[in-house]
Amino acid sequence: MWAVCLFGLMGCVNESIPELPEKVTERLIQLLEDPQPDTRRTAALSLGKIGDPQSMTALVSALSDPDDEVRQLSAWALGVMPDSLSEQALVTLVQRLTDPSDSVKEAVVVALGRTTIPEEFMQVLTEAYTISTIPTQRTIIQALSHFEFPFSYSLYLQALESPDPLTRQTAIAGLGELGNRRGLPILRTYLIQDTSPGVRSEAAFRLGKLGNSSDVPALRQAKETDPTPNVHFWASWALAQIGQDT
């Protein structure tokens, strides 16, 4: 009796055959054109989790989707496969740095930061910066700060004139990442004169990374007179790095 029941139960099990990965990708690519935004969002998210380069062309097209979240998720998904991105994909990502949605721009910055994009693709940002809004200018500087392109130096100087503190702070960080010592006098100036504690702290940190004995007076001044504890901390740290912590 038990054997018959067990046999019957086993016979009732219907195991479905899993779809091949490429078939799943194909179906999700089709769903990127679904009329419902929620479906397109899920498709872009799923394609990013799969990371199949077969979806790259469709995801690049989805960067122009009317829905902000679809564009954001498509940028994120492309960032999952940085080593497989075509020139067209890289160029389109750079263009999306001027997207009207801040969340999309942030996703593009992260995606580009994972790539080894050629310098000439990013040089168009020099012109784009001058005609962009402050949030987009900030995004452009954030994107450039992931790389060490020589042309970025002049754009960082331009960004240091921005009324936006975060743009200035990112520009200071970018100068530090370039490792160009001709930027040291600029770092000293912004350590002492900038109105933003974030900018002054960043300048102190970068001087600790790049500086020398010529930077000690500015760092000591910041340590002794700056009203912000965070600036005191980084100025003290920088002096220790230079070997002038006493």
In the chain, where the domains are located: 43-117, 120-178, 183-246
Can you give the pLDDT at residue 180? Answer: 85
Q: Is the pLDDT of residue 4 over 70?
A: no
CA 207 – CA 147 distance, rounded (Å): 19
Cα dihedral value 21, 23, 26, 31, nearest 10: -100
CA atoms of 29 and 223, how far apart (whole Å): 56
Which of the pair, 130 or 21, is modelled with greater confidence? 130
**Distance between CA atoms of residues 45 and 123, nearest Å:** 30
Considering the segment(s) 43-117 as one domain, its CATH architecture is Alpha Horseshoe (1.25)
The rounded radius of gyration (Å) of the Cα atoms in the chain is 25
Name the CATH topology of 120-178: Leucine-rich Repeat Variant (1.25.10)
Is residue 23's pLDDT more than 90? no
Q: What is the pLDDT of residue 164?
A: 97
CA atoms of 125 and 87, how far apart (whole Å)? 16
Enter the CATH code of domain 183-246: 1.25.10.10
* Sign of the CA dihedral running 143, 146, 150, 156: positive
